[in-house]
Amino acid sequence: MGWDDKGRPPRRGGAGGFDKIPDIPDFDLSKLKPPQFRGVHFFFVGMVLLLLYIATGIYSVQLQERAVVLAFGKHVDTTPPGIHWNLPYPLGRVVKVRMEEIKKVEVGLRTGQTGLSQADLLKEAQMLTEGINMIDVQMSVQYQIKDPAQFLFGISDPQLDRNENPRPGTARILTDEGLKFTVRNVAEAALREVVGSSPIDDVLTVGRSKIQQEVHDVMQNIMDVYGAGVTINLVQLQDVFPPEAVKESFHDVNNAEEDMNRLIRDAEGYYNAIIPQTRGQAAQIVAQAEAYSAQKVNMAKGDALRFESQLKEYIKAPEITKKRLYLETMEIILGKVDKTIIDSDSLSSLVPLLSLGQGNQGTRRQAPIKSTQSTEQENGR
């Protein structure tokens, strides 16, 4: 519509079809009325809201967790893994605690980021041994929640700042994070007690396992008395070293002790090798001596029995026994020498001085030459 058409009635049937737009009557807002709500409507709405509020009390507990249930601020139950219900907030509260998580505190060192300076860590690590010797000890402690209710309510552990110092007038919130301040102080106190009653050599070398066990026992007893609800799993001495001023001397002593132990082990090895061999040789000699003794005893007994039997025969027939003994003895003697037997008939044809039986072995004594007749005469006697 142009400027010249101002004040004229609108034309119908233009090219754009705007002449077909119907006239819109005036809208009267006074005719709008709000819906009519009855009491039953408010009841259903209230019930739905109440059910939704009650449903907010449903909670689930994971396998590695335990839930500490509070009703009106009081501990009423500790629930296992699963789906449970408790009074909704603010009437009730559920605090979930991770039972399987291994927590860790350190004394004399920090493996992660910390606001403590090196001087503070050195001061925490310095301790005195039984002989009033100064030594630096670094230790780590691993602990685990045993009783979730005691863990949350047993100790009012303060909140820590960046430098791990307690903030005045603060207490830890009811979560499974905490007790590091208390556990670290207990660990440091137990460590100082055990190290203070131990010689420095035991702390540096052979007594470390014993010290770890004693610190573990002392810590567990203290935490049980506190009712902290934790179990001390592991106490481990990370590093034990003398102060910087005497470190070289301590290293020399340690090297000397290692050399001494090595020599002792070598001597024990030689002892273990030579003693069984010597014992075997001694047992062999004893066995040979016992066999020789038994042999000689048996031979002596045999000779005695033989002599007794000969004596009995001699008593019965002395002459015959004498002759028999003589012949047996001569048989033994003559069996060991060379002999030449010459018949008496051929004796005249031989040179009397002929050395019969003499060979390369040197001169031998000539056996007496007897005639067969004389020998027979002697035998007939």
Whether the CB-CB separation of 186 and 155 falls below 8 Å is answered with no
Q: Specify the range with the lowest mean pLDDT, choosing from 41-55, 115-129, 183-197, 238-252.
A: 238-252
The residue type found at 140 is S
Burial class (CB in 10 A: 0-12, 13-18, 19+), 58: exposed
pLDDT at 346: 63
Is the pLDDT assigned to residue 34 strictly greater than 50? yes
Report yes or no: 129 and 207 within 8 Å, Cβ to Cβ.
Answer: no
From CA 202, how far away is CA 195, in angstroms rounded? 9
- The residue count of the chain comes to 381
Half-sphere exposure (Cβ direction) of 351: Cα atoms closer than 13 Å: 4
pLDDT band for 370, please (50, 70, 90 cuts).
very low
Across 115-127, average pLDDT: 85
Among 157, 158, 148, 146, CA closest to 95: 148
Q: Quick one: pLDDT band at residue 236, thresholds 50, 70, 90?
A: very high
Q: What is the pLDDT of residues 137-171, one digit of tens each?
A: 999 999 999 999 888 888 877 666 666 666 665 66
- E strand or H helix that includes residue 241: strand 230-241
Of 343, 347, 352, 350, the closest CA to residue 376 belongs to 343
Give yes or no for a contact between 143 and 231, defined as CB atoms under 8 angstroms apart: yes
Structure confidence at residue 169 (pLDDT): 59
Among positive and negative, which fits the CA dihedral 293, 296, 299, 303? Answer: negative
pLDDT tens string 169-223: 566 666 656 688 889 999 999 999 999 999 988 888 788 899 999 999 999 999 9
Percent of residues, the chain, with pLDDT higher than 70:
74
What band does 381 get if pLDDT is binned at 50, 70 and 90? very low
In angstroms, rounded to a whole number, what is the distance separating the alpha carbons of residues 219 and 140?
13
* pLDDT tens digit sequence for 80-91: 999 999 999 889
Task: Answer yes or no: is pLDDT of 15 > 70.
Answer: no
Q: How far is CA 217 from the centre of its chain?
A: 18
Which domains can be identified in the chain, with CATH numbers?
Answer: 41-98 (no CATH), 103-241 (3.30.479.30)
Model pLDDT, residue 119:
85
Q: Using CA atoms, how far apart are residues 343 and 349, in angstroms rounded to an integer?
A: 11
Q: Are 339 and 365 in contact (CB under 8 A)?
A: no
pLDDT at residue 24 in the model:
60
More confident residue, 1 or 210: 210
Read off the pLDDT of each residue in 335-344 and give the average, rounded to a whole number: 74
Question: How does DSSP classify residue 344?
Answer: G
Kindly state the average pLDDT of the residues 356-365: 47
Cβ neighbors of 66 (< 8 A, separation 6 or more) are: 78, 79, 80, 81, 96, 97, 99, 148
Mean pLDDT, all residues of the chain: 80
Looking at residue 310, its pLDDT comes to 81
Highest mean pLDDT among 5-14, 95-104, 311-320: 95-104
Task: Return d(Cα 286, Cα 277) in angstroms, integer.
Answer: 14
Instruction: Enter the tokens of residue 237.
Output: 């001495």
pLDDT digits (tens, 9 = 90+) for 268-314: 999 998 998 899 999 999 999 999 999 999 999 998 998 888 888 88
Is the backbone peptide bond immediately before 90 cis, with ω within 30 degrees of 0? yes
pLDDT > 90: percent of the chain: 30
224 falls in which pLDDT band (50, 70, 90)?
A: very high
DSSP β-ladder status, 82-85 and 58-61: antiparallel
Region for 167 from its dihedrals, namely left if φ exceeds 0, alpha if ψ lies in -120 to 50, beta otherwise: beta
Q: Parallel, antiparallel, or unpaired for β 65-71 and 92-98?
A: antiparallel
Looking at per-residue confidence, does 1 or 201 come out higher? 201
pTM: 0.54
pLDDT at residue 319, rounded to an integer: 86
* Cα–Cα nearest to 137, from 203, 205, 207: 203
pLDDT at 376 over 60: no
Rounded Cα gap, residues 194 and 215, in angstroms: 6
SS3 58: strand
Instruction: Give the per-residue pLDDT at 21.
Output: 58
